[in-house]
Amino acid sequence: MPEVLQGAGVSPGVGAGPVRTIAGAVPEPPAESRHGGDAEAERATALAALEAVAAELEERGTRAAAVGNPMGEEVLGAQAMMARDPGLADDVRARIDRGTGAARAVYEAFGVYRDLLAGAGEYMAARVTDLDDIRDRALARLLGLPMPGVPESDEPFVLVARDLAPADTAVLDPAQVIAFVTEEGGPTSHTAIIARTMGVPAVVALPGATSLADGTRVLVDGAAGTVRRDPSDADIAAARAAAAARAAALEDSTGPGATKDGHRVPLLANIGGPKDLDAAKANGAEGVGLYRTEFLFLDRQKAPTDEEQEAAYRAVLEAFPEGRVVVRTLDAGADKPLAFLPPPGEEPNPALGERGLRMSRRYPEVLAAQLGALARASAGLTAKLQVMAPMVTDAAEAAYFTAACREAGIAHPGVMIEVPAAALRARDIAPEVAFFSIGTNDLTQYACAADRQIGGLAHLQDPWQPAVLDLIAPAADAGVPCGVCGEAAADPALACVLVGLGVTSLSMSAPSLPLVRAALARHTLDECRQAAAAARAARTAAQAREAARAHLPGLAELGV
């Protein structure tokens, strides 16, 4: 393996530390596995493993609560109860008494419950994953294999995984994570989004990442996209010095977003919940441009209560009394599955299936409850509440959403533009809504037919593709205010191009705000327009980037 590995840098910053890998699947113990004859000892071993798993889950739950994640505590507490289920223990004992080895007995006993749950309707079926997780933890103990899931560590570490799901990160203590490195995932994957939100350096789409041995020291450069094995002190110092030079260039990056000649472009934060507000404020966000409400629902077996929703929405609205808060209704499905909103059936291509507004139309009571909670949360507050639907395809869907908003008393309904059809016919959709927000992550995925979850397609998941810029242009020109809340807004050069295309606000993970603010402040609106025209005239993503940069001389000062 080379000393320096190259992937895609998706969250800037430099971090060095030991690797901890999220272990892969635990294999099924062989069906014919028998114990040596001492059933009593075998029973004790099996039950001790289940109890150890329960205790560990409980302890992780307590820690999740301590890092401000009551949702994680709830899920882990419920899992601990499953591990201690007396019926399960009886089943394991009975199997061991018939001669089956401890690991196989545990595997089979879980299998019975698994089948029961899987056949007991959609709601219960969603708990199968939780059950499998407990089973795999018990098996890992019994078989002496690495524990699945986020590793335990006494010291901060570089988290290495094939890819990270939102659920993997629910129990992460940000103080423990130095950097993320994943084999899969592109610039818009959840690993990238979570890393930027946490302000942690991250490299994705790094071939062979999971072959890095646990404990190997690595230096991760989230801007360059490199991972250096066994770095020297000099390597670490040089990387840190480069990062510090850039940070210094950003020190004067404060105040509202505007181009050099004073054209205002509000700079807003993408958040997953109230816990992200501190970072948004610290980085000078003027409001929230994308509140991904599904983060409030992830890991839940049922929807949060109306009161819980209202409190979470109110906390965000109260944080920006003078600003705007753009809340997105649930974007369930595909890369953001929610246990209590399962798709109607098997979906061979979930990204093209029931997700976003399509899912809300299937469960209108969930949408109505969310809109009602939002309307109540904003009552009496000064923040401007705007509510938008994800995955809208045409004017009829936009009209449906606007009607639902009006019924709930929401004054500013909008839609995300992330389906190419919606971008192309933005002029038809505009009369139905008060604003647009372009989701460049999905717009790029659909325009380039490149699944955003597949690391090998990262080169096509590139919003610099001229085709993507061609889709943004008509949306920005359709006569309603049009923001961008996809990760493209966080690229300082592309941010200038988006403004040149007519985009009226930019929303991004909070740590990206200072660099984008500084990039805008160094260029006039005219330079942004010229950069946009040059990028659209290019034939490839790389040429578009290069052509735009030729009109954006101030970027060099920022080291980007």
d(CA 220, CA 197): 17
Sign of the Cα pseudo-torsion (264, 265, 271, 273, in order): positive
* Tokens at 124, concatenated: 């219960």
472 neighbors 536 (Cβ within 8 angstroms):
no
Closest by CA position to 524, among listed 248, 252, 265: 265
Q: What's the chain's length in residues?
A: 560
CB-CB neighbours of 232 under 10 Å: 10
**Could you tell me the smallest distance in angstroms from the CB atom of residue 423 to ligand PEP?**
12
Catalytic residues: 190, 485
Tokens 């005239």 locate to 537
**Could you tell me the smallest distance in angstroms from the CB atom of residue 391 to Mg ion?**
7
Amino acid at 239: A
d(CA 193, CA 188): 7
Alpha-helix runs per DSSP H in 298-355: 306-319
**Could you tell me the smallest distance in angstroms from the CB atom of residue 439 to Mg ion?**
4
210 neighbors 160 (Cβ within 8 angstroms):
yes
d(CA 418, CA 415): 9
**Could you tell me the smallest distance in angstroms from the CB atom of residue 130 to ligand PEP?**
24
Select the binding partner of residue 333 from Mg ion, ligand PEP, none (C-beta < 5 to 8 A, by kind): none
**Could you tell me the smallest distance in angstroms from the CB atom of residue 469 to ligand PEP?**
15
Select the binding partner of residue 292 from ligand PEP, Mg ion, none (C-beta < 5 to 8 A, by kind): ligand PEP
CA distances from 92 to 41, 44, 81, 157 (A): 13, 10, 16, 36
Tokens 């020297």 locate to 232
Q: Which is nearer to ligand PEP, 14 or 165 (CB)?
A: 165
Select the binding partner of residue 135 from Mg ion, ligand PEP, none (C-beta < 5 to 8 A, by kind): none
Under the criterion CB under 5 A, does residue 442 sit at the interface with Mg ion? yes
* Tokens at 122, concatenated: 């959609």
Q: Which is nearer to ligand PEP, 194 or 212 (CB)?
A: 194
Residues that bind ligand PEP (CB under 6 A): 188, 290, 292, 331, 418, 439-442, 485-486
Of 73-81, 332-340, 415-423, 491-499, which segment contacts Mg ion by CB under 5 A?
A: 415-423
132 neighbors 107 (Cβ within 8 angstroms):
no
Closest by CA position to 206, among listed 231, 186, 232, 235: 186
Give kind and range of the element (H or E) at residue 492: helix 492-501
Q: What is the largest CA-CA distance in the chain?
A: 83
Under the criterion CB under 5 A, does residue 432 sit at the interface with Mg ion? no
Q: Which is nearer to ligand PEP, 224 or 288 (CB)?
A: 288
**Could you tell me the smallest distance in angstroms from the CB atom of residue 423 to Mg ion?**
13
Select the binding partner of residue 462 from Mg ion, ligand PEP, none (C-beta < 5 to 8 A, by kind): none
Under the criterion CB under 5 A, does residue 294 sit at the interface with Mg ion? no
The terminus-to-terminus CA distance of the chain in angstroms comes to: 29
- DSSP symbol at 374: H
**Could you tell me the smallest distance in angstroms from the CB atom of residue 408 to Mg ion?**
22
d(CA 80, CA 58): 6
d(CA 541, CA 530): 17
Calculate the CA dihedral of residues 340, 341, 346, 352 and round it to 10 degrees.
Answer: -150
Half-sphere CA count of 340, side-chain side, radius 13 A: 14
d(CA 187, CA 12): 12
Q: Which is nearer to ligand PEP, 242 or 351 (CB)?
A: 351
d(CA 205, CA 189): 10
Strand partners, 413: 387
Q: Which is nearer to ligand PEP, 226 or 441 (CB)?
A: 441
**Could you tell me the smallest distance in angstroms from the CB atom of residue 138 to Mg ion?**
37
**Could you tell me the smallest distance in angstroms from the CB atom of residue 252 to ligand PEP?**
29
Select the binding partner of residue 485 from Mg ion, ligand PEP, none (C-beta < 5 to 8 A, by kind): ligand PEP
Measured in whole angstroms, the distance separating CA 94 from the mean position of its chain's CA atoms is: 43
**Among 7, 439, 455, 554, interactor with Mg ion by CB under 5 A:** 439
Sign of the Cα pseudo-torsion (537, 542, 545, 550, in order): negative
Q: Which is nearer to ligand PEP, 136 or 442 (CB)?
A: 442
Q: Which is nearer to ligand PEP, 29 or 486 (CB)?
A: 486
Q: Which is nearer to Mg ion, 42 or 163 (CB)?
A: 163
Q: Which is nearer to ligand PEP, 133 or 442 (CB)?
A: 442
Residues at the contact surface with Mg ion, assessed by CB under 5 A: 418, 439, 442
